[in-house]
Amino acid sequence: MRLLSTLHGIGIVATVALRAAIGPIDRSARPEQLVAYLGVCPQTSQCGAPSYDRPSTKRGSVLGRFLLIEAAHHYDTHPGPLSVFFPRLKARKGYKRP
């Protein structure tokens, strides 16, 4: 929780709510499992040779996904280490896409 609260856009209330949405952190053995639980990982559909990346799965914790998206929107207007990444992502995916 202490590490989460150091990020811009995530205050103490969002940190506690995100911790409650995730639950015990040790139940996710790998980071990919936590990302899949929050529903922010892209879907990949593959039939034969071509592989297509589709939008995120949007399954799992609605509250956790909402808090992460709101924290990401903070970087649209506030300077920080991730603020240079946000405009590129917004141009590629759109503003309201997770």
pTM, entire model: 0.64
Looking at residue 71, what is its pLDDT?
80
With beta carbons less than 8 A apart as the criterion, state whether 61 and 21 touch.
Answer: yes
* CA-based nearest residue to 66, from 93, 85, 39, 88: 39
Task: Provide the domain limits for residue 40.
Answer: 4-93
CA dihedral 15, 97, 40, 3 (to 10 degrees): -30
**Residue 81 counted as domain residue:** yes
**Residue 36 counted as domain residue:** yes
Looking at residue 4, what is its pLDDT?
78
Looking at residue 97, what is its pLDDT?
57
**Residue 21 counted as domain residue:** yes
Place of tokens 């929107």: 73
For 68-80, what is the mean pLDDT?
A: 77
How, if at all, do strands 51-56 and 42-46 pair? Answer: antiparallel
Looking at residue 55, what is its pLDDT?
65
CA angle (74 as vertex; 73, 80 as ends), nearest 5:
125
Ramachandran region of residue 8, left (φ > 0), alpha (ψ -120 to 50) or beta?
Answer: beta
Percent of all residues in the chain with a pLDDT value above 70, rounded to a whole number = 81
**Residue 27 counted as domain residue:** yes
Q: How confident is the model at residue 15 (pLDDT cuts 50, 70, 90)?
A: confident
For 86-93, what is the mean pLDDT?
A: 77
**Residue 61 counted as domain residue:** yes
**Residue 98 counted as domain residue:** no
Query: What is the rounded average pLDDT for all residues in the chain?
Result: 77
86 or 19: which carries more pLDDT confidence?
19
**Residue 22 counted as domain residue:** yes
- Number of domain units in the chain: 1
